[in-house]
């Protein structure tokens, strides 16, 4: 895993390409810096739609763009980073307490997210003011 800045953490998958195509791999403890308990796929996002717009209290995630492209906005309560995600082999680590939003999905985009926790709605912070309070509190 290559770390550029506190929030812009790249997760580089292993890549095995040859004349038969390309195989990308991520293993817990190697490319993925946590034990994977869950994955989900985001697809068929209509033009103009936004996903995310929340933070997690304790869940860590790694986000990959398997097909197409989108814009990822991450906000740690202090500063905002906006970046275009279009690499199939390099994802982003989304740590707890980072407000993240995805927008500008190109047609046919497929995103894969792996997480270190099972789904629990109570782990979400969906209101931005609540997120800022959580970041300030530090707990």
Task: Name which of residues 53 to 72 contact ligand TYD (CB under 6 A).
Answer: 54
Residue 127: name the closest of 107, 104, 99 by CA: 99
Question: What are phi and psi for residue 119, nearest 5 degrees?
Answer: -70, 130
Task: Name which of residues 83 to 102 contact ligand TYD (CB under 6 A).
Answer: none
CB 113 within 8 A of CB 51: no
Residue 127 interacts with ligand TYD (CB under 6 A)?
no
Q: How many CB atoms lie within 10 A of CB 35?
A: 11
Give the three-state DSSP class for 7: coil
Among positions 37, 38, 43, 120, the unique one binding ligand TYD when judged by CB under 6 A:
38
Residue 51 interacts with ligand TYD (CB under 6 A)?
yes
Give the three-state DSSP class for 121: helix
Residue 50: name the closest of 6, 103, 10 by CA: 103
Least distance from ligand TYD to the Cβ atom of residue 106, Å: 16
Catalytic residues: 54
Which of residues 54 and 88 has its CB atom nearest to ligand TYD in the complex?
Answer: 54
Q: Which stretch binds ligand TYD (CB under 6 A): 3-11, 47-55, 62-70, 131-139?
A: 47-55
Residue 40 interacts with ligand TYD (CB under 6 A)?
yes
Which residues of this protein are in contact with ligand TYD, per CB under 6 A? Answer: 38, 40, 42, 51-52, 54, 119
């Amino acid at each position: 895993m290559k770390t550029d800045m506190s929030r812009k953490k790249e997760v580089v998958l292993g890549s095995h390409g040859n004349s038969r195509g390309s195989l990308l791999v991520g293993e817990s403890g190697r490319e993925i810096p946590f034990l994977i308990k869950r994955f989900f796929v985001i697809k068929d996002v209509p033009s103009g739609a936004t996903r995310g717009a929340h933070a997690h209290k304790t869940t860590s995630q790694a986000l990959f763009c398997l097909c197409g492209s989108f814009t990822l906005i991450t906000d740690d309560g202090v500063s905002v980073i906006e970046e275009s995600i279009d690499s199939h082999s390099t994802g982003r680590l989304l740590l707890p307490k980072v407000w993240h939003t995805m927008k500008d999905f190109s047609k046919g985009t497929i995103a894969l997210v792996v997480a270190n926790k099972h789904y629990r709605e109570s782990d979400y912070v969906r209101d931005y003011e609540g997120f800022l309070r959580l970041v300030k509190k530090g707990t």
